Structure formats: C-alpha cells, structure tokens
C-alpha cells in the first residue's frame, strides 16, 4: 500500500487537475482537497507532518491538531468496514472505498482549523491494519486559517 500527499498552488484560473497515476491507475485513488488562504511558502510540497500505523483496532486515536488547518487521512484495511465517525470538532471531507482481492481498503479524510482537537476516529468494525496521517496546512495570516474551497463532502453513516 502506498500513501502520498502533495500541495500545489491553485491560482483560481485552472479549470481542471488531471493526475497521471501511470501503471498504478487501475489500483489507485486520488482525493483532491482544496483550501484557500494557505501559505505555500511555509508548506512542504509533501506536507505529511506525522503518521502512525495501528493493528487490530476499532478506533484510531488522532494526533493533536496544530494551530493551522490539520487534515487527517486514515487508510483502513478491513473486509467489513462500512461506516465511521470522526470526533467532535473535526469535519468529515472525502471518503473512498475499494476492494483488493477479498480485502476492503478505504481512505477517509477530515479536517479542523482548531488547535488541540483530540479524540478518535471510530470504526464500525475491528481492522487488522490502519494508518493515520496528519497533513498540516499553514495559513498566510495567523488570524485566517486555510478554509476548504467547497463545503460539500460525502457523508457516511455514523458508527
């Protein structure tokens, strides 16, 4: 399994973004999360600031959110995974589910602009393997954290 995150500038003039996954295209998934007011001068092009792996769990403890916008991306490997719930103060964003053989693999994302948010991502089933990644998006102005360009997101049933 391979997970990657990238930050690119959006100037408002582009009308599409096309990712070429090459040979992985049949086995890959891309989720684009767009934020305004981000500070690219203080952001790595690969902005993963923390990552952890978990085994045999039904909840995944979040890393502490930082003073900037924090994006959480969880990869869940479980055959019967069908629903989840993020803790209070964390806004669900996109979710994708796939199957690899008889194993289900899901990528679920959420974000918060609040520092110190804690809690766990609750899963409806035990997962033999999961990963959680924290992506930090600094803002250009300390009083204006980055905001999603769109407030639409896929909804899921609560765990």
Cβ count within 10 A of residue 94: 16
Q: Which of 74, 70, 88, 50 is nearest to 123 (CA)?
A: 74
Q: What is the pLDDT of residues 22-32, one digit of tens each?
A: 665 555 656 66
Q: What is the pLDDT of residues 69-97, one digit of tens each?
A: 788 889 899 888 889 999 998 989 888 88
Residue 128 lies in a domain: yes
Q: Which of 118, 123, 111 is nearest to 156 (CA)?
A: 123
Q: Does the pLDDT of residue 157 top 50, yes or no?
A: no
- Give the mean pLDDT of 36-47: 63
- Residue 72 domain boundaries: 25-142
Q: Within 13 Å, how many C-alpha atoms sit on residue 44's CB side?
A: 8
Q: Residue 72 maps to which CATH number?
A: 2.60.40
Higher pLDDT, 70 or 66: 70
Q: Determine what percent of the chain is predicted with pLDDT higher than 90.
A: 22
Backbone angles phi, psi at 56, to 5 degrees: 55, 60
Q: Which of 148, 141, 153, 144 is nearest to 36 (CA)?
A: 148
Residue 153 lies in a domain: no
The number of distinct structural domains making up the chain is 1
Beta bridge partners of 36: 147
Cβ count within 10 A of residue 44: 13
Residue 29 lies in a domain: yes
- Give the mean pLDDT of 6-15: 64
Distance CA 66, CA 138 (A): 9
Residue 76 lies in a domain: yes
pLDDT band at 128 (very low <50, low <70, confident <90, very high): very high
Residue 135 lies in a domain: yes
Given this model, what pLDDT does residue 154 score?
39
Residue 151 lies in a domain: no
Residue 14 lies in a domain: no
User: Which of 37-46, 51-60, 114-123 has the weakest average pLDDT?
Assistant: 37-46
Higher pLDDT, 51 or 86: 86
Residue 7 lies in a domain: no
Whether residue 51 contacts residue 36, with contact meaning beta carbons closer than 8 Å, is answered with: no
pLDDT band at 117 (very low <50, low <70, confident <90, very high): confident
């Amino acid at each position: 399994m391979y997970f990657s995150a990238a930050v690119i500038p959006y100037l408002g003039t582009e009308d599409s973004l096309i990712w070429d996954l090459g040979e992985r295209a049949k086995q890959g998934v891309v989720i684009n999360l767009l934020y305004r007011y981000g500070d690219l001068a203080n952001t790595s092009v690969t902005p993963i600031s923390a990552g952890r792996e978990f085994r045999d769990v039904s909840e995944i403890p979040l890393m502490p959110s930082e003073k900037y916008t924090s994006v959480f991306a969880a990869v869940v490997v479980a055959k019967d995974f069908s629903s989840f719930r993020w803790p209070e103060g964390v806004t669900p964003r996109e979710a994708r589910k796939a199957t690899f053989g008889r194993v289900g693999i899901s990528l679920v994302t959420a974000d918060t602009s609040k520092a110190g948010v804690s809690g766990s991502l609750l899963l409806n089933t035990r997962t033999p393997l999961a990963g959680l990644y924290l992506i930090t998006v600094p803002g250009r102005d300390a009083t204006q954290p980055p905001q999603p360009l769109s407030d639409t997101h896929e909804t899921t049933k609560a765990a």
